[in-house]
Structure formats: C-alpha cells, structure tokens
Copies of this chain bind each other. A is one copy, B any other.
Amino acid sequence: MKKKIIIIEDIAAIREGFVAALQSTGKYSVINAYDSCEAALVNLHTDEPDVVLMDIELPGMDGIEGTARIKKEFANCIVLIITVLEDSEKVFQSLCAGAGGYIVKNSNIENIDQTIDEALRGGAPMSLSIAKMVVESFRREPNSPLSERETEVLQAIASGKSYSKIAQEIFVSKETVRTHIKNIYRKLEVSSKAEALRIANKNKWVNY
C-alpha cells in the first residue's frame, strides 16, 4: 500500500509543485495539501499521514510548533521540513520538535523521492550543510567573559548540582564555589542561576 502524504506550505505554486511531483512518482498517495498548520491539524485524524512535508515559515503557527503538534498526536508520522533559508536556530528547533529530515525547496523530483525513501527507511535525510549547521551550533564561542573555573562552575550549575555538590567535585570549599558564582553574577549582571544560564547559553559560553 502507498504511503500517505500531506503537504503544508503556504505558497500555492510550491505546494502544487510538490503535489504534482509526488503524484508523478506513483509511489505515494497525496491525501491533502494545506496552506497552514491550523488547517492541517483539524484534518489530522482523518488524514492519518505517514509523512508530512512541512514548510518552516508559515503564517500563524510556524512549522516548528506544527511539527511538535503532529508528533504529539502521531509519534510515528515522519515530518520532513521543506526549507530554503538555512537558519541554524530554526533547523535545530525543528529537530528538537521531532523533524525527521530536510528537503531543499528547489529539489527535483528524484531528489524528493530519494529523501522520502531515506526517511521511511529510518534515516535522517538532510544536506551536509544543514547537518554542519547544527554541529557548528554546539561549538563554544571563545569570547566568554567568564574564566575557566567560572565556566566549569556554571556548567555544573546547568546540570542541577548544588553548590556543596560542585565544591566536592572540583575539590574546593563551598565558599569558593559561592565566590565564583558571585563573580559570575557580577560579570553577567544577573542574580540567579536561571538568568546566568540563559545568558551563557545564548552566547554559547557553556554547552547545555
């Protein structure tokens, strides 16, 4: 039996292009094509798609939120992101939301077909440039105002450890950890763990 596919893409020309391309292969059953996530979600339980081709930039609910909603209902449904701009933050977010891979917007029919095939076989189809983007987003930024020790302490804070626990692990007194924290707060101009982590994470001074 043919795999059921739906398409969510707001630009009619692109949307219809995908529909035509998929139907021309004869391998898939294109159930529906929508111009918004909202529209797609109301029919989700009748469509029961195996694969969703999802644009990331959509009016109203964006493709990231849409991916999350669909995966919540149908965990086995594969959501492939149709993307043209390569914004590492959005690519990363959509991966976290459960995206199964990426289709470049101006792909030809064979390319799209191959991508869907790979996804159905359990792979994570994506271009090297997209994969690299995500990988590079985990590189530390070198211009941190925090010293090595401070970064180490903040890293430990990020994993939920208490000051005493951190002190034990890095073989210093609890007071030393507290001093480091105070200095971190002063440098980042914050006054709580959450704020410090938010700043440091945003600037990639700490890794998760």
Contact = CB atoms under 8 A, between A and B. Distances in A.
Contact of A158 (B138, B148, B158): B158
A140 B67 CA distance: 14
Contacts of A193: 160-161
Q: Is the interface of A mostly helix, strand, loop or mixed?
A: helix
Contact of A95 (B92, B95, B138): B138
Interface residues of A, number: 36
A108 interface: no
Contacts of A96: 138, 140, 207
Interface in A146-193: 148, 157-162, 165, 192-193
A6 interface: no
A194 B160 contact: yes
For the complex of A and B, list the 6 residue pairs with the smallest distance between their C-beta atoms, beginning with the closest. Answer: A208-B208, A131-B131, A160-B193, A160-B194, A160-B197, A161-B194
